[in-house]
Amino acid sequence: MNFKTKLDHKVKMIEENLNKFLPAENNYSNMVREAMNYSLLAGGKRIRPLLMYETFQLFQGTSNLIYPFMAAIEMIHTYSLVHDDLPSMDNDLYRRGKKTTHAVYGEGMAVLAGDGLLNYAFEIVLNAEIPFHEMQSCLCALKVLAGKAGIDGMIGGQTADILAENIGDSADLEHLLFIHKNKTAALIEASMMIGAILAGASKDEINNMEQIANKIGIAFQIQDDVLDVISSLEVLGKETGSDQKNNKVTYVTLTGLEHSKEQVKKLSDEGIERLHEIEQRMGNENSFLRELLCSMIVREK
């Protein structure tokens, strides 16, 4: 079975799992529930739950808690996109080839849908059956999830991203890397760390997965900066040129297109090589995880 076939099979599993945790569309809050589900089911590569599950498999995990956590990470990622697309942020009308949530439901309902997804992510984990012997690992995983999504993670990165707008020549690489590490890499770090935590990995192994995810996450975002320049709406599934439209500093604007491509390769090679070293030490490997990390970097959308 080739990588594409395996990927399609695994994404289908993740979609089926996600569907089990969707909020029911009922009562007077029906509109926000509908907007939440629209946002979640609008497609996507499901990279974060995939990374979580494959890291969990690498460390030979058996806990059923992986399933609500996989849904939770996708809900948090989706909420961030819903808010990122708002008129007060990037003002994008298309995401994954479909109209963005605010374009369909209005700005106010999109804000509430994002808020709902963030809160619901934690609800589904806390409402799961948690065996007593897994309570400590569940708490550790929740701590990682909250931290990486918060002001010292994704929200902090988004804040720095907004502040970076319109500063032109005043922008520097340190500021940009802070944005990339927190806005994008933080949830990728959370995904791989939680997969390791729920599988019972050691503290050192969890830290190693965080460092691998950091390199891959930054490379992933630099590739996103590259695609915003060279791709198209038809290929990317969202409007291109939005970074330039919003006067955003990007890796491409600071270092140039070719250097950005070189940095993507350097960081991704370092991350994947480190993963290979860990696999060799463990005497266990997950070739699909390595292929998945590679596919994130060489993607066209």
- pLDDT at position 298 is 79
- Per the domain annotation, does 102 fall within a domain? no
Global pTM?
0.91
Distance from C-alpha of 94 to C-alpha of 235, rounded to nearest angstrom: 12
Residue ranges for the chain with pLDDT beneath 70: 166-169, 231-247, 299-301
Q: Which domain holds residue 241?
A: 3-24+46-64+132-298
- pLDDT at position 301 is 59
Residues in the chain: 301
- Per the domain annotation, does 31 fall within a domain? no
- Per the domain annotation, does 69 fall within a domain? no
- pLDDT at position 235 is 46
The CATH number covering residue 179 comes to 1.10.600.10
Structure-block tokens of residue 172:
């520097």
For the chain, state the CA radius of gyration: 19
- Per the domain annotation, does 199 fall within a domain? yes
Q: What is the Cα 218 distance to its own chain's centre?
A: 12
Which residue is listed with tokens 């480190």? 274
- Per the domain annotation, does 269 fall within a domain? yes
Structure-block tokens of residue 60:
């030979």
- pLDDT, one tens digit per residue, over 232-288 is 444 445 454 555 555 677 889 889 999 999 999 999 999 999 999 999 888 888 889
- Per the domain annotation, does 237 fall within a domain? yes
User: How many domains in the chain?
Assistant: 1
Distance from C-alpha of 111 to C-alpha of 109, rounded to nearest angstrom: 5
Distance from C-alpha of 234 to C-alpha of 251, rounded to nearest angstrom: 23
- Per the domain annotation, does 115 fall within a domain? no
Q: How many CB atoms lie within 10 A of CB 160?
A: 17
- pLDDT at position 238 is 47
Distance from C-alpha of 146 to C-alpha of 280, rounded to nearest angstrom: 31
User: Quick one: which H or E segment has residue 69?
Assistant: helix 66-84
- Per the domain annotation, does 82 fall within a domain? no
Burial class (CB in 10 A: 0-12, 13-18, 19+), 170: exposed
Give the count of alpha carbons within 13 A of 235, CB side only.
Answer: 11
Give the count of alpha carbons within 13 A of 128, CB side only.
Answer: 26
Structure-block tokens of residue 37:
């589900």
**What DSSP assignment string belongs to 109-162?**
HHHHHHHHHHHHHHHHHHTS---GGGHHHHHHHHHHHHHHHSTTTHHHHHHHHH
Which residue is listed with tokens 């960081």? 267
Of 102, 82, 99, 255, nearest to 158 by C-alpha is 82
